[in-house]
Amino acid sequence: MTSQSLTFALEGVNCAGCISKIENHISQRQGVMLARGNATTRRIRLVWDPAHQTANTLADQIRALGYGALPFHPGDAMLKEPSMLPQLGLAGFAMMNIMGISFAVWAGVGTDMGPGSMQFLHWISAALATPVVFYAGAVFYAPALRALQHGQMTMDTPITVAILVTFAASVFETLRGTHHVYFDAVTALIFFLLIGRVIELVLKRRSGDAAENLRNLMHIEARRELPDGAIERLPADQLYPNDIIIVETGERVPADGILLSEHAQVDESAISGETLPRDVDRAEAIAASAIVFAGPARLRVTHVGEDAQIGKIAQMISDASGYKGPMQKRADQFARSYIPLVLGGGVLGFVIWYVFLGASFADALMIAVAVLVVTCPCAAGLATPAVSARAVNLLMASGIVVKSGDALERLSNISAVIADKTGTLSAPLPQLFMCDEAIQKEAAKLAIGSSHPLARMLCADLQVVPAAGLSEKPGRGILASNGARLGSAHFVGADQTVDHPALWYCSPEGQTYCFSFHETPRDDLEYLIHSLRDQNLPLTLLSGDSHLAVTAFAQKHGIKTWHAAASPQDKLRFLQDCLSAGEKPLMFGDGINDAPALQAAYVSVSFASATEVAQITADIVLAHPDPKLLPYAIATARDARHLIGQNLWFSAAYNIVTVPLALAGLLSPLIAAGLMSASSIIVLANSLRLKEPK
């Protein structure tokens, strides 16, 4: 039996439940052999019998459930880095076994374990540690080596040195038959560092998947008009600039283009975040991925593929993730200054003991290793994640999802807040502003026949019967057989214009009325503005909306700085300028147009109801569109930073005391292990003091 298969990228899928719903629905269709969704990449793989179904009928089935489905064309990005799970598993397995054996050895040192048994246990540990060091640890050696070839040092450099020196010394001591072996320390170091790397990789992959699904928005079918007037269907990536294309109502525009028809109305929410359809006249530009609301639209293609605006946004997101350097740079700066000190300390200890104090080579090497082990940033390493884990859990309970401990740390350091307007500080759709209820009821009888967002808003809470003989003039308005009209000012014959979204109604008697829609701020916006003022964070409005609308909104709510009519590029540039000027801006936004800025910002916040790309690029996602959560998150992050500071001071003090002791050759491995555990427990206990801010 023959079968066809295809992967679809899904839109509007927020959880595994949605995926499961689609799977169930599709797998019950006749001829469908496989429907397997992936909630992480938001894609679904379908296999079907071509006798019963086609890719189009299946895509329609998914759309009928209220989700978007587009055939997914894997790009080169599909060649993924291998996962580090096998390395992690191996390191964890070896670490736990070696720890068990180490306890026996430590207990044996103080009692009567014979040298033969001790030697045997050391050899077992060595056998377990060897694959960890040479297979799992290789994750750190390759980047360290690459950096070294360029004369640089990164955090991987000391890790590599510590692992290799400690391992070599331990093997050497095992051969000599002493008990100064540190196979447990080496494997534990590799295991815990790998956990961090695996989490980092998972997060990176998620944002990569989002960018790829976004690029996929461009991979749709187009209808090209040939010179003889015939229409040819072809995949959108085979379009060229200057081709003439036709886009029907309800379809997505496959490439950036110039409108050749007299008039069209498009929903560009994917690009601009603007939820109301935009009127487009002849010779105006329409961006790829816009949905034609009232058409058909005849376009001359100007930009295709990666050059199209949406391709550029996808590109900007991946570029901006490379730009997000300050944090990484700081870690490397730390490595550059702290690491040579550690290495130098080890070398110094060796030289002093071997050359000047006449110790044996092995004793001197052991002292050097003791210095390296004791400075191994265990307490310092726990200082931050222990507090972060506690804070992330606290915030999660209030509906604030922090994607990494790193994001929390950055959140506590912000110096400014930059927010998008529409959909972020204000409700996504404008609300109907005071009107005569009787007239609203009359108008709703017409509005109920239209799918325009404003019309739907007009009849939202009203139970009305549709007027007789409704006919919709797409992009202009709706008309009943009794002569009543609802639509644009021009359509109903009113000669006024207003500067805000409005619907005009003309009664059968010829009387015209205007329904005004005003942008409404989110509940608790005032609270947000006051809280940010109390927290000493200036708020800047960065909106793609018109100067008039943004200025009015900012002045009404006492926001002192604002930038209007900002394109995604402008927003990105603004954030980058802020960063270059030494600011640490928090970006708060919800649209695809905010995504590059969200990615570039020092730290970024979005909503669970925002576009998928915004959610995935943001560091922090608020479960409810409630601006009140933001000051709460900032306060918690600042408390956490305070505790992290205490922990770091403590671990620094610990090093200041223990390093000289190790250099003096006074620390036995047993005492060092005890000190290390005690310092870790103190750090953990201190972290639990984090409470909800008042």
Partner 1 sequence: MTAIIYLIPISIGLGLCGLLGFFWSVRTHQYDNMESDAFRVLSAEDVPLSDQERSILCDPENRS
Q: What residues make contact with partner 1 under the rule CB under 8 A?
A: 1, 3, 5, 7, 15-17, 19-20, 23-24, 33-34, 36-41, 43-45, 47, 83, 85-86, 89-90, 93, 97, 101, 114, 117, 120-121, 124, 128
Minimum CB separation from partner 1 for residue 214, in Å? 19
Minimum CB separation from partner 1 for residue 97, in Å? 6
Looking at beta carbons only, is 7 or 404 nearer to partner 1? Answer: 7
Minimum CB separation from partner 1 for residue 93, in Å? 5
Residue 230, SS3?
coil
378-397 and 405-412 helices, crossing angle to 10°? 80
For residue 356, what are its two tokens?
């000047």
Give backbone dihedrals phi and psi of 344, rounded to 5 degrees, phi first: -60, -40
Q: CA 581 to CA 575: how far, in whole Å?
A: 10
Q: Which residues contact 118 (CB under 8 A, 6 or more apart)?
A: 105, 108, 179
Q: CA 261 to CA 215: how far, in whole Å?
A: 27
Distances in Å between the Cα of 87 and the Cα atoms of 81, 131, 137, 157, 411 are 14, 10, 8, 19, 32
Minimum CB separation from partner 1 for residue 354, in Å? 36
Minimum CB separation from partner 1 for residue 197, in Å? 15
Minimum CB separation from partner 1 for residue 21, in Å? 9
Minimum CB separation from partner 1 for residue 65, in Å? 14
Looking at beta carbons only, is 124 or 359 nearer to partner 1? Answer: 124
Minimum CB separation from partner 1 for residue 401, in Å? 15
- 83: DSSP letter: P
Query: Does 363 participate in catalysis according to the annotation?
Result: no
Q: Which of 209, 420, 594, 626 is catalytic?
A: 420
Q: CA 204 to CA 206: how far, in whole Å?
A: 5
Starting at the edge strand found earlier in the chain, the sheet holding 416-419 runs: 400-402, 620-622, 603-607, 585-588, 416-419, 539-542, 561-563
242: left (phi over 0), alpha (psi -120 to 50) or beta: left
Residue type at 278 in one-letter notation: R
Looking at beta carbons only, is 85 or 653 nearer to partner 1? Answer: 85
Looking at beta carbons only, is 77 or 666 nearer to partner 1? Answer: 77
Looking at beta carbons only, is 24 or 333 nearer to partner 1? Answer: 24
Looking at beta carbons only, is 76 or 495 nearer to partner 1? Answer: 76
Q: CA 138 to CA 86: how far, in whole Å?
A: 12
Minimum CB separation from partner 1 for residue 39, in Å? 4
Q: CA 501 to CA 29: how far, in whole Å?
A: 43
Minimum CB separation from partner 1 for residue 101, in Å? 8
Q: CA 542 to CA 565: how far, in whole Å?
A: 8
66-103 CB burial, b ≥16 within 10 A, e <16: ebebbbbbeeeeeeeeeebeebbebbbebbebbeebbe
CB 557 within 8 A of CB 424: no
Looking at beta carbons only, is 40 or 555 nearer to partner 1? Answer: 40
Starting at the edge strand found earlier in the chain, the sheet holding 291-294 runs: 278-281, 263-267, 291-294
CB 304 within 8 A of CB 241: yes
In the chain, count of helices (H) and strands (E)? 23, 26
Minimum CB separation from partner 1 for residue 125, in Å? 10
Of 199, 561, 636, 176, whose CA–CA distance to 409 is shortest? 636
195: left (phi over 0), alpha (psi -120 to 50) or beta: alpha
CB 568 within 8 A of CB 316: yes
For residue 614, what are its two tokens?
């915004």
Q: CA 54 to CA 6: how far, in whole Å?
A: 10
- 82: DSSP letter: P
Instruction: Give the 3-state DSSP-derived string for 134-201, with helices as H, strands as E and coil as C.
Output: HHHCHHHHHHHHHHHHCCCCCCHHHHHHHHHHHHHHHHHHHHHCCCCCCHHHHHHHHHHHHHHHHHHH
Looking at beta carbons only, is 84 or 457 nearer to partner 1? Answer: 84
Which residues are marked as active site? 420
